[in-house]
Each structure stands twice: as structure tokens, then as C-alpha cells.
Amino acid sequence: MDRYEADPEELDEIIVPDDDESSEAELFEHHRIVADKGQGLIRMDKFLMLRIENASRNKIQQAAKAGNILVNGKTEKQNYRVKPGDVISVVVAHPPRVNEILPEEIPLSIVYEDESLVVVNKPAGMVVHPGHGNWDGTLVNALLWHFQHTPGCPPATSPLLVHRIDKDTSGILLVAKTEEAQTLLARNFFDHTIERSYQAIVWGTPREDEGTITGHVGRNLSNRLVMTVFPDGEHGRHAVTHYKVLKSYSYISLVECRLETGRTHQIRAHMKYLGHPLFSDERYGGSQILKGTTSGTYRKFVENCFELLPRQALHAKSLGFIHPVSGKKMFFDSELPADMQQLLARWERFVENRV
């Protein structure tokens, strides 16, 4: 028998629920398999199909073509013959099924599109993929309609997720249109060559204008809907967020966050750990007044701000990656959505009037 195990430390942009009700769907699976000493010679594709559930020959071929199969640290193809003691590391696509999802005519903000991929500026409030309690109105429903009504787009084209952002987070999202593109884009994430920049509005102002938050992020041991930072690494997965204060409004600040890893709710959990939860983030304590007085006109002002932006103040602002076919460096940027801009304008006027 072979010794088989998934290597959690190699997982990155993998388990990211869209919202409270969504299931945890793995977009990619990273497997680490050590061939037993009694293993006979066998082709890699057959070996992996026997060891990995639902791993078709096509998925294995795509993984090999993308360079996502390593044997003893060296890239190998699907015709490599596995030998006793080989340490095999492989990343295969495991996208959510779309065959029972109905296309819906929903307006989309398409930033870029070609035969391999599409870049979308997702609005806040839109779930990325159908799941429990959210079977329609999602980005995938909208993309299915878009593909079916785009001239020259193959009729069987389906949106293949590469990563996700939360339902109430707005911003840039990358979606593949072919399995080959999806598998190659996965390499960007696992090699950490993806450039991701977010902008968040947080309570207060961090003591340092810029810095790095390092701490394992994992599910809260008493509430699985909340992610917690485990600084000693006793639970969760390694997570790194680089932040920079772009502007301070005394009571709140606009902060840029760049992700080195892509854990569930990483920015939300890390900023709370730093002592500066995202503004209006109910799940992580940001929907309470955390800076300033809790009575009088100030309280009314903050409550009006919560009404203006009844979600976590987080926007996926930019995304850079290597194109899976052309090999060219691609970069896409977006403006802060109107609700976040309006919130900042209100705070700026409020601070100016108090000076």
C-alpha cells in the first residue's frame, strides 16, 4: 500500500466560503503521496488515478502540462514511471459542479476577457458560486448566461473558479474558461506569483504606518463561522498579510493589504488581531463603535455610516498574474466602490468640522 496524505501547508487559495451559508468547496487539491517500498513500476497518470478520488486522466494530463506534478522535487510528465520511495506532489483542479446550475441574465462588470479567462469586478452582495441558501443570483449563474450569449464562445464553456472573494467583499475576481487555463492559473497561486491588493477601511489607525501580520489563521474553536489568529501556530494555517496605512481619519483609516497567502477571511481576521477590525464587519466586531464616544451626535453619525455601508469595508482592488497561454504579465486595477468612497468622504467632512 502507498502512504497517502493531503499536505495542508501547501494549500493556499483553496477553502474560501462565499458567505455564511456556503459549503467549503475546494477549488484545487494538493496531494502528497509517498510510494511504498514494494511499489511496482507504473505510469504516473494511472498511479494518480488509482490514488486520487475523481481524478480523471484529463485532469492529470492538465496538471502535468502545467508543471503541477513533482517527483522528489522535480517536475515530471504523466508518462513518468513511479518507483518505490518516490515522493509525489500534485495539484489537480477540483472545481464546483456547474452542470445543474441555470444561467441567469444578470449584469456583469467585465474588466477583461479572452478565450482562456475572464476578469470581473464583482459587486458587494453577490455570492460567487451557488451553495446552500444561494442557488441563484450568483456570479457563476451570470457568467453562464454571458458565455452562452457571447459570439464565438464555445457552447460548452463553463466558469471555472480559480479563487473566491466573500459575498460582501467587492472587487477583482479571476475566472478560467478552460480546464487548461484553470490548472495553469493554479500554479500562479501555489508559486505565490499572484499579486493581490485589497483596500480596507478599519477602526482606528495602526501604530506603525506599514507592517506585516504573521499568524496562523484557522476556524474559531467554539464558532466555526469565525476565523481566529493562532500566533503560536497551534491551529490553522500559516498566513501573512502586508499592510500600509494610506490615510488616517483619526477614528478610522484606509489601509492597503497585500496577501502573501490566501486563507479564509485572512484580512478580516488579521486586522482584528492587530486591534483594528474592518469598519462595519459584524462578524469580527467592526459593527460596533470602537473609536470615539458612544453617545450623542457622534453615535448617530456612526450609525448613519453603518447604514450607508452595511457590510465589511473591504475591496479586492487589484490582481496581477501570468497569462496561462501567452505567458504575458497581466495586471488589473479597480476603483473603490461608491459606498466606500462615500463613507470616506463623510468621515473626512466629519473630522474637518471637529478641528
Residues with active-site annotation: 166
Classify strands 210-214 and 216-219 as parallel, antiparallel or unpaired: unpaired
Q: Please say whether the beta carbons of 324 and 117 come within 8 A.
A: yes
Cα distances (Å, whole numbers) of residue 311 to 74, 121, 136, 341: 45, 17, 21, 14
Q: Distance (Å, rounded) from C-alpha 139 to C-alpha 105?
A: 11
Output the nine-digit C-alpha cell for 79. Answer: 508518462
Return contacts of 106-111, CB within 8 angstroms, 24+ apart: 106/137, 106/141, 106/142, 106/145, 107/142, 108/139, 108/142, 108/143, 108/146, 110/146, 111/172, 111/332, 111/334
Q: Please say whether the beta carbons of 83 and 39 come within 8 A.
A: yes
